[in-house]
Amino acid sequence: MKKLSKVNLAKQLSVVLVALTFIVAFIPIAQAKQYGSTMEVSFNPAVFSDPTEPIWVGTISGEIDGTMVFWATGPNPSKDLGHPPGFPWQVHFFTEYWEITDEDGDLIAGIDKGSTGYSNWKFRMNGEVTEATGKYVDLVGHHVHMHGQIEWTEVFVSGVAVGPVIIN
């Protein structure tokens, strides 16, 4: 039987370590699931008389099915309150807290900041998941993007906002 010298043993160990490094480097890293769904939420005019009421209430469907609710958190504390028709600015910036409760009762919640264009009622917001339970617990800290358009039957009285919700 051939004796291994210290040099040969070190060379073989080095080759094994390099090979393991490459194997580990090329193994796909497990990624958190990306969720893409569509929200359809209705404006809640009760927020005018009680600012603790949610400003938007509705559903989410797609990869996540359930309810979706938004509370305005700033600066008025509403994204649209206090801005009567004929206001001089074109874009309103807002901050809000939102919650999704899926059909199993699991929660995804977070904060976002965004803007609404008053000329076309398009909205866009980016935020972060700050709370999650059940099968979504690993989403805390993940990014959220929402955008779409508000279709008003009567401005600040009756309207629906529809658009994609992407959590990644």
16 within domain boundaries: no
Q: What is the pLDDT along the chain (168 residues), one digit of tens a residue?
A: 556 666 676 677 677 666 666 665 555 445 557 899 999 999 999 988 888 999 999 999 999 999 999 998 865 444 444 455 555 567 878 899 999 999 999 999 999 999 988 889 999 999 999 999 999 999 999 999 999 999 999 988 899 999 999 999
What pLDDT is attached to residue 118?
83
Domain that holds residue 62: 35-167
pTM of this structure: 0.74
7 within domain boundaries: no
Domains identified in the chain, total number: 1
52 within domain boundaries: yes
30 within domain boundaries: no
Domain with residue 56: its CATH number is 2.40.160
What pLDDT is attached to residue 33?
76
15 within domain boundaries: no
Which residues are CB-contacts of 34 (< 8 A; sequence separation ≥ 6)?
166, 167, 168
Helix (H) or strand (E) holding 117: strand 107-117
Place of tokens 């264009």: 117
Helix (H) or strand (E) holding 15: helix 6-26
- Which amino acid, 57? V
13 within domain boundaries: no
Q: What is the SS3 assignment for 114? A: strand
